[in-house]
Amino acid sequence: MAGGRLSDTQIRAAKPRDAPYKLYDGDNLYVLVNPDGSKWWRQRYYWNAREKLLSVGVYPEVSMKTARARGEEIREQVANGIDPSTKRQAEKAEARNAAENTFKPVSEAWLEQAASARHWTADHTERVRRRLERDTWPWIGSKPIGAVTEDHLLQCLLRVGDRGRIDTAHRLRAELEAIFHYAKRRRLAAFNPASDIKSDDLPRLKVTHNAAIVDPTAFGTLLRALETYPGDFAVKCALKLEALLFVRPGELRLARWEEFDLAGAEWRIPASRMKMREQHLVPLSRQALTILRELHGYTGPDGFVFPQRRNASRPISNNTLGSALRTLGFSAEQQTAHGFRTCASTLLNESGEWNPDAIERQLAHGPRDKVRAAYNSAQHLPERRRMMQWWADRCDELCATKAAA
């Protein structure tokens, strides 16, 4: 039926035959009538002197008017030097990539890569995953990563802030920026929408200080209380070592036996666990060694020094030491696990016995200049060894001295 235009009546009336046949509409557009009764619109065109075909839909879902418009679009592409078939394949590939590269799987891939590259602990990795799962995936998890906007991210962050989780909102902002940096470097997103969201766009963080008992007599009372802790023996040892070594609680609870040289009276904390990403050496006093040797028979000889009671493959949680202090009657406004660092820093500085740089170095507040940091580490190590023994002796002295009645 070459020549004139088709009508809806003609297409509807067309009956299937034993073999497919064509109903031509003009401009190389036709309906292919199949033996099963289906009727497909086809547009024929020529590219590099070769005949090519493209489907433009199924009748009657695609009307005659729509089919003609699509056919005209194909012919215009050919006239403009574009192969419609190649263009359609590229669009389908882009659509597939968009479907596969939605925010959720990309953020999961980032999390796996970041956890491995930065040597995150399983607990930290799980906390980051829970933040993403709770605060982003329900809203943007199914969106193509390249289609997520600054507004989408800001709404997620403000929802977290509205729950009163201000610190979580700021942590999540930094994680979102890292996710989109990851996506951009892999050409999954053209830009980083999180980079324009600043801390000032979110509710302000409240500055908090880790509560600490710095009065010597009251600190002695705290030390005596540690001796009475009724819970797990490893947790009791962790509390006592926190007071003696004043490392960050996370550094202590993740300690592994292979990091300790008890014969050499040293604990070397690997750089991957340190805030400044530099290995930190902790000289061990006689008192600390006594605790560690006793504990070695309880949780050693390998693995975590402070494992969970029911699962030795995992360390005690980041709330364990704080909960233990609450058990002993010290509120979070009186003393925190992190506050032991403040206790030591205050009392060591007030003693006037020690170089402030040595104290800061032992607190792992090392200078940002790497050359100076290495120099200070070597320069102050003998003093730090003497200081850590002095501090342990001072703790014994305070523990033995009760307040006057």
Domains of the chain by residue range: 8-96, 103-201, 216-400
Using the structure block, give the residue that is written with the tokens 């993403």. 132
Domain boundaries 103-201, corresponding CATH code: 1.10.150.130
Q: What is the pLDDT of residues 80-121, one digit of tens each?
A: 999 999 888 888 777 676 667 899 999 999 999 988 888 888
8-96, which class in CATH?
A: alpha beta
- What's the pLDDT at 295? 95
- What's the pLDDT at 171? 86
- What's the pLDDT at 98? 61
Q: What is the mean pLDDT of each run of 10 residues along the chain (405 residues)?
A: 75 94 93 95 92 93 94 93 89 70 92 88 88 94 91 92 84 91 90 85 64 90 94 95 94 94 94 80 96 93 91 89 92 91 92 87 68 49 93 94 54
111 CB-side CA count, 13 A: 21
Q: Taking Cα atoms as reference points, which of 72, 34, 74 lies closest to residue 53?
A: 74
Domain boundaries 216-400, corresponding CATH code: 1.10.443.10
Angle at 307 between CA 331 and CA 343, to 5 degrees: 35
- What's the pLDDT at 372? 42
HEC profile for the chain? Answer: CCCCCCCHHHHHHCCCCCCCEEEEEECCEEEEECCCCCEEEEEEEEECCEEEEEEEEEECCCCHHHHHHHHHHHHHHHHCCCCHHHHHHHHHHHHHHHHHCEHHHHHHHHHHHHHHHCCCCHHHHHHHHHHHHHHCHHHHCCCEHHHCCHHHHHHHHHHHHHCCCHHHHHHHHHHHHHHHHHHHHCCCCCCCHHHHCCHHHCCCCCCCCCCCCCCHHHHHHHHHHHCCCCCCHHHHHHHHHHHHHCCCHHHHHCCEHHHEECCCCEEEECHHHCCCCCCEEEECCHHHHHHHHHHHHHHCCCCECCECCCCCCCECCCCHHHHHHHHCCCCCCCCCCCHHHHHHHHHHHHHCCCCHHHHHHHCCCCCCCHHHHHHHHHHHHHHHHHHHHHHHHHHHHHHHCCCCC
Q: Are 101 and 146 in contact (CB under 8 A)?
A: yes
Active site residues per annotation? 248, 275, 338, 341, 365, 375
- What's the pLDDT at 121? 81
Which backbone phi and psi does 309 adopt, to 5 degrees? -65, -40
Residues 6+ apart with CB under 8 A from 224: 399, 402
